[in-house]
Structure 1
Amino acid sequence: MIRRRILLVALLAILFAIGWWAGRGRATTSLYSNLDLFVEVIHKVEENYVDPVEPKRLIDGALKGMLKGLDPYSQYLDHKAYDALQDVTQGKFSGIGVVVGVRDNYPTVISPIEGSPAWEAGLRSGDAIVRVEGRSTQGFTIEDVAGLLRGPEGSPVRLSVRREGEGDERDFTLTRREIATPSVPYAFMEDDQVGYVRVASFSEKTGAELRAALARLRAAGARRLVLDMRRNPGGLLDQAVDVAEQFLPHGALIVSTRGRVRAQENKFFSSEPHPETRWPMVVLVDEGSASAAEIVAGALQDLDRALLMGRTTFGKGSVQSVFPLRGREAALKLTTALYYTPSGRSIHRARRDSLERADDDDSDNDSTPEDHAAPADSARQPAFHTRGGRIVYGGGGIRPDVVVSDDSLPPLTQRIEQRGLPMRFASRWGASHPASRAALRTLPGPVWEGFLAYIRAESVSVDRERLRSERSTLERAVRRELARRAAGDSAAARVALEGEPQVQRAIQLLARSRAPHDVFEVAGLGAPQRGSDRGDPADARRPHNPSDRSGADKRSRGSTN
């Protein structure tokens, strides 16, 4: 009887919600007849299934299944999922502040977040977390250990850690506190005039973080910029607008949204010029660049503001609006519109399933790693023009102006990296040798010999010729981890970028560019028409109102996760 009452209450709540929805739109006879079928199926399962079933489980499963049939991004968010979404969009959570991976079947510290409890307590890259609150973590996934490390702010958590080169485990008791995860994790000078900045995601403070990073680079002498948005999964629409307008003049259209409901049709314009507007720029993208990252890339490309380099982006150009459900700690995330670049291209790529990758820029079989990004099938794709008259292609995703494929790691290095040996060696070496800044630039002979002895002890078979051909790549991997240990993630990133073709090619192009449009000529694309980096007078007729970002609707409604 109690079960039936719970079930009826849940169904009445759904009926009430649908009735409210029908009051705002159009309820159909078909909707109500199918709802009768839904109620009957729920009753049959609840009464006859071989095992007792909680009504809430049935309702939650039905809601998730219903939305899964729409598209990969529409979801019913239960309490946990809704909280997790808010953590991501706010860029903060309560925990100890570590980036964790899995090595040798144990959660392992990749790096502590600077200034966090983990950082202050002395946790290091390579530390294996073997127990949390006395519970063994062997076989734990990243999600498993994250659930144990996060908790209420101010609460304690006990860890036992195994460190390379040490026989005994170390015990730590840390106090959880709010952890801010930066969406602009590092920015530094690549040479006297070229600055590099990494934008890893779009959360609540991305625009402000980027503004601060650019100010630091300007003070250090930057006059050219590499903006790295590779592997950036996206985030908040209003932050994408904020990032783009830091490089665009007043009144320039950044992105528009179009949906079935008039309220979802919006245009977003840049609000004011910034000193960085005149810097020559290269923007790095790849198949992991999605949603908000694609908005920024598409705007800068269409307005001829930056050269795009890399690989075609993912093509996640749909707007998800988040509707909190009344009286419940749950929400509905629903696709309500599509994004369009200033030239009118739809960012969204129609895909058969959510796992389809954006890889059509690899259709050219030429072995040269760099080529202009007119795809082999461009005749079948709609063509658009940038403000300066250059041709760009639609069809989903943002195609770079210049394709530069990242070289995959050679076989021996790949095997060694997959086992986490550079990180583990750096942890062991650091335990017995003081960290040396010299190791950030070159790898001393004794360190290299020590690494060779270490990988042999780890049963890695080493072919002499293979070792000779991959030595520079392996040395860089060790230097990266020594740099991380000595000076943090930013130093490690700087070493890693030395071996990335996209970054090095971008620096070469920028070194020969004095004005924004020079980079197009240096790349062999020809200069856009003069004046194309100025705001379109037609667009400027609508004044930009920073608060008029209804697609974002106070953070969650315009989330492009």
Structure 2
Amino acid sequence: MSRRNLTLLLVAIAFCLLCYTRGEQDPFARYVVNGYENIDRMAYTSVPDEELFQGAMEGMVDVLHKHGDDHSLFITADKAKMFREEINQEIAGIGVRLHLDGEPLVVKVAGPPIPGKPADRAGIRADDTILAIDDFEITNVTPRSFQEDVIGRMRGKPGEPLTLTIQHDGDSEPTKLDLIREIVELDSVRGDRLLPDQSWRHTLEEDPRIALVRVSSFGAKTYRELETLMPELINRGAEAVVLDLRMNPGGLLDAAVATCELFLPDDKLVVETRDRRGKTRNKWASSGDGPYLDLPLVVLVDRNSASASEIVAGCLQDYNRAVVIGERSFGKGTVQETLSMQAGESTLKLTTASYWRPSGENIHRHQDDRESALDDPDWGVTPNEGLEIEMTEEELIDLVKARAERDSTIYDPDLAEEGPLLHDPAVDVAVAYLQELLDNQPAE
């Protein structure tokens, strides 16, 4: 039997089983199977079965979008692998960070490669320009195409070869390098300054009592990173923490819950999920006293802090365990489950529930237009009174660029070089707040 016919048979069997179990309640399941069979058997244009399947899935998800569910998504086989890698924080690559720079935009190496990984062994250096990946020449790159055309091509399977054409900073001619992909772990927890050994300095130069802990997303290893980092910060003299969740789009619910447990007493509700009928599906509560119950804590959020990051900020704010500083968060109060499709090749990311803060509030913003919802007080996580830091779009872009430059510059505390300065109003307010708190603590 050909692969095409086998695929058709499997899809037909799946639909038929669906029809058998739901046919009496919903005849449209049978209609879908009939439509698929008629198109495959009679259509003048021959179309691959996989494309018919993808079209059907994308069409159904598009209907969900029209009814207000903006976050369900069908992820095709070619993109599902990258999605799973981001969540699992583990990729097959060469151990280098890339970013867009210049005008027109070019792809550059951000900071030195990870020590001991293929890029490091091949002699790739900070500020090298990537000109081509295998036979793909990088031209007219945009922020939209960067993820798929560049990052997607850099990744692959462990042991797969990769040829890069690069321009070393200062060289007149490009160089071709042959590399072999290896497993590389992605970090989700960062500090303020990148050190020569590729670790992060978290304590702030203006006050070493305060540590900046930036969480870029909540992945499978985020809690383990925090669990390892926190005692190290305390041993280095940190007495307070700024937990920076700005630009954090969310991630795994379990990782958000575990993060809250670090700072909460036993048996405190972290988050509750409810189905479309409003019935409680699950409740997550702290399972014991966290090790950092008395650690002064600030959480930073902005307009791009969403989902799992809002769970953390909202929970810690509800228990007065932390103050929230910054902008009102994005307002994504729904839960998506990742459902495997095509024997694990593709993924359906489906909204299945809403989540609710310990205070009983759902932070979801239902309006399609963010501007029209600005006067509605019932969505997002709002900073504590007097601790709002509003930024224009231009100011936010400038801050992101400055942060990227600082992140890609090695800081050696033994040298006198200051490196890129960073004006960050939210961090400045957080530091001032924590300094006052620490300075007014009663002496032991």
Please report the TM-score for the alignment, with normalisation by the length of structure 1: 0.66
* 1:308 is the counterpart of 2:324: yes
2:196 match? none
1:451 match? none
* 1:397 is the counterpart of 2:398: no
- Counterpart of 2:16, as a letter, is F
**1:192 match: secondary structure:** strand
Which of 80, 83, 89 aligns to 1:82? It is 80
1:13 match? 13
Which of 27, 32, 38 aligns to 1:32? It is 27
**Structure 1 residue 182: deviation in Å?**
0.4
Which of 158, 164, 171 aligns to 1:159? It is 164
**Matches of 2:30 and 2:51, distance apart in 1:** 18
**1:266 match: secondary structure:** strand
1:348 match? 364
- Counterpart of 1:339, as a letter, is Y
* Contact 1:127/1:162 (8 A) holds in 2: yes
* 1:138 is the counterpart of 2:121: no
**Matches of 1:166 and 1:335, distance apart in 2:** 51
**Matches of 2:185 and 2:440, distance apart in 1:** 34
**Structure 1 residue 97: deviation in Å?**
2.1
**Structure 1 residue 269: deviation in Å?**
1.0
1:558 match? none
Provide closer, same or farther for how the CA distance between residues 38 and 480 of structure 1 changes in structure 2, counting only shifts above 3 A.
Answer: closer
Provide closer, same or farther for how the CA distance between residues 314 and 167 of structure 1 changes in structure 2, counting only shifts above 3 A.
Answer: same
* 1:237 is the counterpart of 2:220: no
- Counterpart of 1:94, as a letter, is A
* 1:322 is the counterpart of 2:322: no
- Higher RCO structure, 1 or 2 (CA under 8 Å, sep 6+): 1
Provide closer, same or farther for how the CA distance between residues 10 and 275 of structure 1 changes in structure 2, counting only shifts above 3 A.
Answer: closer
- Counterpart of 1:52, as a letter, is S
The 5-angstrom pairing of residues 124-523 of structure 1 reads 124-140=125-141, 141-142=145-146, 143-186=148-191, 188-190=202-204, 191-260=207-276, 265-325=281-341, 327=343, 329-352=345-368, 356-357=369-370, 377=375, 381=377, 395-401=378-384, 402-406=387-391, 481=405, 484-487=408-411, 498-514=422-438
**Matches of 1:248 and 1:84, distance apart in 2:** 34
* 1:64 is the counterpart of 2:58: yes
* Contact 1:46/1:55 (8 A) holds in 2: no
CA RMSD of aligned residues (A): 3.6
**Gap regions ≥5 residues in structure 2:** 192-200
Provide closer, same or farther for how the CA distance between residues 290 and 53 of structure 1 changes in structure 2, counting only shifts above 3 A.
Answer: same
Provide closer, same or farther for how the CA distance between residues 16 and 332 of structure 1 changes in structure 2, counting only shifts above 3 A.
Answer: farther
**Structure 1 residue 4: deviation in Å?**
9.6
**Matches of 1:7 and 1:156, distance apart in 2:** 31
**Structure 1 residue 81: deviation in Å?**
3.4
**Gap regions ≥5 residues in structure 1:** 362-376, 382-394, 421-476, 519-561
Give percent identity, aligned residues only: 32
- Counterpart of 2:126, as a letter, is S
**2:410 match: secondary structure:** helix
**Matches of 1:173 and 1:507, distance apart in 2:** 46
The 5-angstrom pairing of residues 38-57 of structure 1 reads 39-40=34-35, 43-44=38-39, 47-49=42-44, 51-57=45-51
- Counterpart of 2:380, as a letter, is G
* Per-residue Cα deviation, 1:433-492 (whole angstroms, up to 9, x for no partner): xxxxxxxxxxxxxxxxxxxxxxxxxxxxxxxxxxxxxxxxxxxx5x9848834349xx9x
Structure whose residues are more often helix by fraction: 1
2:194 match? none
1:118 match? 119
Please report the TM-score for the alignment, with normalisation by the length of structure 2: 0.82
**Structure 1 residue 34: deviation in Å?**
6.1
**Matches of 2:349 and 2:17, distance apart in 1:** 15
* Contact 1:93/1:180 (8 A) holds in 2: yes
**Matches of 1:508 and 1:272, distance apart in 2:** 31
* Contact 2:80/2:347 (8 A) holds in 1: yes
* Contact 2:163/2:179 (8 A) holds in 1: yes
**2:107 match: secondary structure:** strand
**Matches of 1:512 and 1:197, distance apart in 2:** 20
- Counterpart of 1:293, as a letter, is S
Provide closer, same or farther for how the CA distance between residues 347 and 217 of structure 1 changes in structure 2, counting only shifts above 3 A.
Answer: same
**Matches of 2:406 and 2:39, distance apart in 1:** 62
**Structure 1 residue 111: deviation in Å?**
3.6
* 1:107 is the counterpart of 2:107: yes
**2:157 match: secondary structure:** coil
**2:339 match: secondary structure:** strand
**2:271 match: secondary structure:** strand
**Structure 1 residue 45: deviation in Å?**
7.6
Whichever of the two has the greater Rg, that structure is 1
**Matches of 2:343 and 2:404, distance apart in 1:** 50
**Matches of 1:180 and 1:403, distance apart in 2:** 35
**Matches of 1:482 and 1:228, distance apart in 2:** 16
